[in-house]
Chains A and B, each alone.
Chain A
Amino acid sequence: DSGVTQTPKHLITATGQRVTLRCSPRSGDLSVYWYQQSLDQGLQFLIQYYNGEERAKGNILERFSAQQFPDLHSELNLSSLELGDSALYFCASSVGREGYEQYFGPGTRLTVT
């Protein structure tokens, strides 16, 4: 158990809908990262937050947004969902702003039908 929690574990929704994925980092960790893992694209870095501020952006679509709250939990919002958004979404946390190992949550499996 990494100490990172993600909810929900599974999510099935229809195209065009909007969903919110939630992540609670390990106690004491200030950075939260979001990743998307699909069969054809592999593991893609989406975005990082550090202590409430956005630190880095990767391959995150404009339909996706995220935020980190004062209690350091983070939410990833996915809107106007398409079939291709079906994937595993992982959250990871680390203690520092950069250059530290990341601890991954169990993931949320999103299926868009």
Chain B
Amino acid sequence: SQQGEEDPQALSIQEGENATMNCSYKTSINNLQWYRQNSGRGLVHLILIRSNEREKHSGRLRVTLDTSKKSSSLLITASRAADTASYFCATDALYNFNKFYFGSGTKLNVKP
């Protein structure tokens, strides 16, 4: 299956600490995206990184992509209680942009 896998499944940190989540996938991709989901609500797009990019920043978020290892990481710096959510990576497939595969997610809990 193409489906990505996030690691760890759950992460609990104190406010102000950094949180790092990893995503691994199985086959070559065009793009990898990270999404956030607050409990039972719709997903919110965070960052899209293309296969020819290695790193991307957006505010307190930093995403890296290593296509040779088929892995990506999402770093949230100076975390806040409001960052508490589940984080998913989503990949397409090299010869099929349109099919998206979401990982199982990392549940992040930021304690105030």
Contacts and interface: CB of A to CB of B under 8 A. Distances in A.
Q: Do A and B come from one complex?
A: yes
Interface of A: 2, 4, 33, 35, 42-45, 48, 55-58, 88, 90, 92, 97-107, 109
Contacts of A33: 100
Interface stretch (B36-44, B60-68, B74-82): B36-44
Contacts of A56: 96, 98-99
A107 B44 CA distance: 12
A98 B102 contact: no
B22 to A, nearest CB: 17
Nearest to B41: A106
Interface of B: 3, 30-31, 33, 35, 40-45, 48, 50, 88, 92, 96-105
A107 B42 CA distance: 6
B98 A90 contact: no
Given A99-B30, A99-B31, A55 B98 contact: yes
B92 A58 contact: no
B44 A48 contact: no
Contacts of A103: 45
B43 to A, nearest CB: 4
Contacts of B40: 88, 107, 109
Given A88-B40, A101-B33, A45 B45 contact: no
Contacts of A101: 33, 45, 48
